[in-house]
């Protein structure tokens, strides 16, 4: 039998991230992904049921990583809630630091991932949200975070802000350093923009 050299599944995922980032999910052609992965078109289907399953796997990996990290973060006793949110922000920048194409996919293709309950990414996502809200609530209860902040509203705003920053950075990395973005998020989130 022919033995697989390397990891074809990973090759396909990497190729798909590139093609999805460049063309968007709907304009991404399977044969382009296969070409980029250095395999034949049909071989894609040895590893993934269909085009959507590739995108699902990308998000499964991503949200799995995000959930794993926030889960550990939540349990730490050595830092307070504000520092945990600081680390949470770092988390996003670190994950995408060397992967601008992944950032573009993360931000723009979430809408195309299947929301069927069989998706593992959805579970990770839900748990991530739970842990994130828990960190915030904990901060409010402990008096370090403004109790007037609505947890859900904060989540939307922070995540949305991060996503849009990452997307813009990824599309033109020279325009603005990722670290400037990181610092500004933290600054605004913690202190607002008043001088």
Q: Which is nearer to DNA, 24 or 161 (CB)?
A: 24
79 binds a second copy (CB under 8 A): no
**Min CB(48)–a second copy separation in Å:** 18
Q: Which is nearer to DNA, 43 or 65 (CB)?
A: 43
d(C-alpha 45, C-alpha 59), whole Å: 18
Which of 2, 115, 116, 174 lies at the binding interface for DNA (CB under 7 A)? 2
150 binds DNA (CB under 7 A): no
**Min CB(185)–a second copy separation in Å:** 6
Residues contacting residue 24 through CB under 8 Å, at least 6 positions apart: 108, 109
174 binds DNA (CB under 7 A): no
120 binds, among a second copy, DNA, none (CB under 5 to 8 A by kind): none
In three-state secondary structure terms, 191 is helix
30 binds DNA (CB under 7 A): yes
What are the backbone dihedrals phi and psi of residue 176, each rounded to the nearest 5 degrees, phi first? -155, 130
Which of 99, 112, 123, 138 lies at the binding interface for a second copy (CB under 8 A)? 112
51 binds, among a second copy, DNA, none (CB under 5 to 8 A by kind): DNA
79 binds, among DNA, a second copy, none (CB under 5 to 8 A by kind): none
Size of the site for a second copy (CB under 8 A): 47
Task: Determine the length of the chain.
Answer: 195
d(C-alpha 41, C-alpha 33), whole Å: 8
d(C-alpha 176, C-alpha 157), whole Å: 21
- Taking the CB of residue 126, how many other CB atoms lie within 10 A of it? 12
Residues contacting residue 30 through CB under 8 Å, at least 6 positions apart: 41, 44, 51
What DSSP element (H or E) covers 105? helix 100-108
Given the rule CB under 7 A, which residues bind DNA? 1-5, 8, 27-31, 39-46, 50-52
């Amino acid at each position: 039998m022919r033995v697989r050299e390397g990891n074809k599944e990973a090759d396909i995922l990497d190729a798909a991230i590139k093609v999805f980032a460049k063309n968007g999910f709907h304009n991404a052609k399977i044969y382009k992904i296969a070409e980029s992965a250095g395999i034949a078109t049909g071989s894609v289907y040895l590893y993934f049921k269909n085009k959507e399953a590739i995108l699902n796997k990308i998000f499964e990996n991503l949200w799995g990583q995000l959930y794993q990290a926030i889960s550990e973060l939540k349990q730490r006793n050595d830092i307070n809630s504000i520092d945990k949110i600081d680390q949470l922000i770092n988390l996003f920048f670190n994950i995408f630091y060397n992967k601008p194409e992944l950032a573009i996919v993360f931000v723009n293709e979430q809408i195309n991932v299947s929301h069927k309950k069989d998706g593992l990414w959805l579970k990770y996502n839900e748990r991530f949200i739970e842990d994130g809200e828990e960190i915030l609530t904990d901060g409010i209860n402990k008096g370090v975070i403004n109790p007037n902040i609505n947890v859900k509203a904060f989540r939307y705003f922070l995540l949305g802000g991060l996503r849009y920053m990452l997307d813009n950075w990824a599309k033109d990395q020279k325009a603005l350093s990722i670290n400037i973005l990181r610092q500004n998020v933290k600054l605004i989130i913690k202190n607002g923009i008043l001088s």
